[in-house]
Chains A and B, each alone.
Chain A
């Protein structure tokens, strides 16, 4: 370690934001390496600034370190400048607490938050000095494990991992590490350990499944090849969400990171069922924490970290059954301590006057809405149950309270999208501008700026749109131009998300194991940090697809039949296939589905998983 530290320190002053690479932050856990039995390197496959903002890592880091004889440390993807320095100076990927090389750890765990981080996983394994393919890592350790939302279809990265953790990690991580601690003294082979691990609910060992394909290239069958592997791996759910482990402190970084604040998770799952949204399905069922629990955790975290800002985290904070009371309780504390309370993810429809005032009293920034589609018909198709009246009402309240900037997010290329829906995006922005000018001068802000932003729709597994083709790039270009031509006000700004990225994302999201080679080839050609515009190299990806003989269109732009075996069919996210098909059919008929609070729609999740509204019919 001393040697690595010395080598690192020699490089730090030549490096951008060196505090990212040396650890030592408040709250980082340092143990005696001779006194621990299990060492886990929690790797986030992106740079420190991004990875340190991730809540899941903070939870699992605290959870594992709460065991005296386990030590969980952090590792991140270095920026290109430091990565090159590491290679030139023979510094392997190291963990920030001990500065020990991660290749000597028992576990190397990656959280897969977005598809474009896949090449970073390969880069980090390679930097660690390990073979990237699981089959080439013969020894028991390090075991390379993966979790996070993308493992709902882990097939495109299946060849690189020893096992995946499906669903929520708080319980299954403990079970996995306990199993390892128990078996380690007997020196099992890697296969012996994996066979035992496969028996744990929520553990998926890709090597234990054989995939066969039909002549048309679709998957024929996914079959376990050892008795320990279940035919379908069921995701894990925390049934008692209120009492689940939550860290009392965070690692507090020195350098500014993307989300540099205390974060308290207030609920998990979402009642809404927007048909494009993967999070809305894979995190079901909806469960919330009690107000007292949230208040206690907020106070504890703020006191331990010294953060001047706390944020409530969830998919839709205003869906907490007691949101008003919650905010009152928290505001009493945060006001007295000069702490800012921030509330991301509020929905338009239940955005009350009072709520707006509470937010405004903290800091007057802009308002951001995501109507997602330009017309009511298309919003019904995607089951985004927000009406134009609600949008206009909220904007009126906001303008009257002095807000002057509104950001609106939309998707292009949604199923059933017509030109009038696309033009509707520009028209909605114009109506908002008109609304502003209708408000008396002395009440409104001095200027108005409406920013429109569109992203290309990417169909994702375990959503009702998993069957849908992604719109072709030329078509998206045409639709972007339609919007541009329909904007007539200087108060409206329009920007769109880089399309080539969405195109790749669509392949990686619904790919099968044959995509592993494409990812490997692209990485070999130098693709890393693909989610960063300045590093993304679409031409190298094009070459990789070409060389591997893989058609993107087959994965991205093809309509899949209701009875097609999906590459992720052997994973059970509890939401039934029948429900997804039902929802898909309703989408094409532009019919909406009520939210869970209004009444259960029978998505397939059993009441026993602890969902607040599961199986309840009344409103």
Chain B
């Protein structure tokens, strides 16, 4: 008879919250692929990771908040559990010993906040429009001066309802902290909702801006700078 594996393993576990960067070529790793990539990185690093117990043991990894594809960040979070208490800096060194280009860990600590506390994130967005920067900025101000900014959102099929498209007003959720000309383009800092309740990506905002203004965004470089809790504190 087959028995579940790992039944006799130590149950005691040490929880760790890791902060990592995802930049350069690594920006194009999708969230699902990131999970696999991290599992392999942990295995290569020979970190004493805690495995789930059962017929099909797997590493326990949790990402409190997904990062949109193509966005740069140095403030991403990943929770793991260890079977041994190893110092934070040793853990960091082990993990960083064999990472792919653009993916690395910057901090290891004890988790403080719950992932459900996450409510918003801050971003820096640099765009190169196909019109002069001053003109693009004027269009942006017009865009933000609208009463409502409606976008189409695809809805999932639910009981008795077919999948469809509905209009959503995203205006109240866009908190622009800075919008200015920079070199040949525009630079923004903005705060958008993130977490279990509501998520809004910079991509959605920029798409809405493009279709409102007729401006074409040729290059776009986006970076997430902060993950924030509902009380305005940084997520740690």
Contact = CB atoms under 8 A, between A and B. Distances in A.
Interface of A: 6, 10, 12-13, 17-19, 22-26, 252, 254-256, 302-308, 337-338, 360-361, 363-364
Interface string B1-34: 0100000000000000000000011101110011
Given A24-B100, A254-B33, A306-B39, 12 more contacts: A10-B219, A13-B69, A19-B33, A24-B102, A26-B37, A26-B100, A254-B36, A304-B98, A308-B39, A337-B43, A338-B51, A364-B2
A233 B109 CA distance: 64
Interface residues of B, number: 32
Contacts of A22: 25, 28
A428 B44 CA distance: 47
A24 B24 contact: yes
Nearest to A21: B28
A13 B29 CA distance: 11
B101 interface: yes
A18 B44 contact: no
B99 interface: yes
B70 A24 contact: no
A302 B39 CA distance: 13
A364 B2 CA distance: 10
A361 B33 contact: no
Does more than half of chain A's interface fall in helix, strand or loop, or is it mixed? loop
25 contacts: A6-B219, A10-B219, A13-B69, A17-B30, A19-B30, A24-B26, A24-B102, A26-B37, A26-B40, A26-B41, A26-B98, A26-B100, A254-B36, A255-B33, A256-B33, A305-B40, A305-B44, A306-B39, A306-B43, A306-B44, A308-B39, A308-B40, A308-B58, A337-B43, A361-B2
Contacts of B58: 308
Q: Which of B43, B69, B102 has the most CB of A within 10 A?
A: B43
Interface string B183-208: 00000000000000000000100000
A301 B143 CA distance: 54
A254 B32 CA distance: 9
A303 B26 contact: no
6 A-B pairs closest in CB distance: A24-B25, A306-B40, A306-B43, A306-B44, A26-B100, A18-B28
Contacts of B214: none
A307 B30 CA distance: 18
Contact of B37 (A254, A338, A361): A254
A307 to B, nearest CB: 6
Given A23-B25, A26-B98, A10 B218 contact: yes
B57 interface: yes
B127 to A, nearest CB: 12
A257 B24 CA distance: 22
A12 B41 CA distance: 24
Nearest to A13: B70
Nearest to A19: B28
Contact of B56 (A13, A17, A360, A363): A363
B42 interface: yes
A18 B102 contact: no
Contacts of A360: 2
B2 A308 contact: no
B41 A254 contact: no
Which one of A13, A304, A306 has the highest number of Cβ atoms from chain B below 10 Å of its Cβ?
A306
Give the one of B28, B44, B58, B70 with max A CB within 10 A: B28
A426 to B, nearest CB: 33
Contacts of A255: 30, 33
Contacts of A10: 218-219
Contacts of A337: 43
Contacts of B33: 19, 254-256
A303 B29 contact: no
Given A25-B100, A307-B40, A363-B56, A12 B29 contact: no
A364 B4 CA distance: 13
Contacts of B203: 13
Given A19-B33, A306-B40, A308-B43, A26 B99 contact: yes
Interface string B70-101: 10000000000000000000000000001111
Contacts of A364: 2
B68 to A, nearest CB: 9
Contacts of B26: 24
Contacts of B99: 26
Of A19, A304, A363, most buried by chain B (CB within 10 Å of CB) is A19
